[in-house]
């Protein structure tokens, strides 16, 4: 997930070792290549077994156009695909996490790796192990969340591409668990980019389990 973040006010000094660890993980994370123009594809959305078909055009995270006959489903799909584009879009370390003051938060023997504080306006922290970001934590006024990265693929470019993760949503007031979403992704190599092929999301909503899938077919680079 990506939200507007600002540098936090802090007296903490930047730790070169924390910076090196996060920068190495950043470099090993798969993104679309520089100059990537986007793609279009046929789109199929399934909600608890009911299929809806349409199209999608992705030029950037801010330029995603989904066409589906159901307006609510179209809005949901557009949000999901925009989120994919935010995470996969090309950017430099200095443009993103590198612009914050980075420091270790201890817990160096944690199974998911040591925790690095970004000291930003959302109190973000990451865990890193084997040059991979294994956990992301953020806190906002209305919700806090933890993303646990559970599995990744290795691309042709020898970079990690997340294929399975779980998001835990908490109340920022009392820390109680509000919801859990399980994500599973697959990808298709088209030219020199790994594009989304499927996304499955399982969540608990209004007393029932809901399974949604996005399926991208017939990719065409732009």
Interval 180-198: pLDDT, tens: 999 999 999 999 999 999 9
Look at residue 41 and tell me if it is in a domain: yes
- pLDDT of 2 reads 47
Look at residue 113 and tell me if it is in a domain: yes
- pLDDT of 1 reads 42
- pLDDT of 5 reads 52
Query: For residue range 133-171, what is the model confidence (pLDDT) as tens digits?
Result: 999 999 988 899 999 999 999 999 999 999 999 999 999
- In Å, how far are 21, 43, 57, 135, 155 from 62, measured between CA atoms? 30, 19, 11, 25, 25
Query: For residue range 9-43, what is the model confidence (pLDDT) as tens digits?
Result: 567 899 999 999 999 999 999 999 999 999 999 99
% of residues, the chain, pLDDT over 70: 95
Closest CA relative to residue 127, chosen from 140, 111, 142, 143: 111
Look at residue 2 and tell me if it is in a domain: no
Q: 13, 103 in Cβ contact below 8 A?
A: yes
Look at residue 104 and tell me if it is in a domain: yes
Has residue 126 got a pLDDT over 60?
yes
Q: 133, 126 in Cβ contact below 8 A?
A: yes
Task: Tell me the two tokens of residue 131.
Answer: 């040059």
Look at residue 5 and tell me if it is in a domain: no
Q: How big is the CA angle at 144 (ends 46 and 183), to the nearest 5 degrees? A: 25
pTM of the model: 0.89
Summarize the confidence of residues 96-117 as an average pLDDT: 92
Q: 219, 39 in Cβ contact below 8 A?
A: yes
Domain that holds residue 150: 16-221
- As for how many domains the chain has, the answer is 1
Phi/psi of residue 221, nearest 5 degrees: -60, 145
Look at residue 191 and tell me if it is in a domain: yes
Query: For residue range 45-82, what is the model confidence (pLDDT) as tens digits?
Result: 999 999 999 999 999 888 999 999 999 999 999 999 99
Look at residue 96 and tell me if it is in a domain: yes
Look at residue 1 and tell me if it is in a domain: no
The whole-chain average pLDDT of the chain stands at 93
Handedness of CA 75, 77, 80, 85 (dihedral sign): negative
């Amino acid at each position: 997930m990506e939200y507007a973040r600002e540098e936090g006010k802090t007296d903490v000094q930047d730790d070169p070792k924390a910076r090196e660890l996060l920068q190495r993980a950043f470099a090993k994370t798969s993104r679309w290549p520089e100059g990537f123009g986007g793609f279009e594809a046929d789109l199929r959305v399934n909600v608890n077994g009911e299929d809806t078909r349409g199209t999608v055009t992705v030029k950037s995270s801010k330029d995603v156009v989904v066409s589906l006959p159901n307006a609510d489903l179209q809005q949901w799909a557009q949000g999901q695909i925009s989120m994919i584009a935010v995470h996969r879009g090309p950017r430099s370390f200095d443009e993103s996490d590198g612009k914050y003051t980075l420091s270790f938060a201890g817990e160096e023997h944690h199974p998911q790796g040591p925790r690095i504080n970004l000291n930003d306006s959302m109190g973000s922290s990451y865990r890193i192990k084997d040059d991979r970001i294994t956990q992301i934590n953020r806190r906002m006024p209305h919700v806090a969340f933890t993303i646990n990265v559970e599995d990744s693929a290795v691309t042709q470019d020898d970079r990690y591409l997340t294929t399975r993760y779980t998001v835990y949503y908490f109340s920022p007031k009392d820390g109680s668990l509000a919801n859990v979403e399980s994500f599973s992704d697959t990808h298709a190599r088209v030219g020199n980019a790994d594009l989304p092929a499927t996304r499955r999301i399982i969540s608990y909503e209004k007393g029932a389990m809901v399974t949604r899938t996005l399926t991208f077919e017939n990719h065409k680079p732009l």
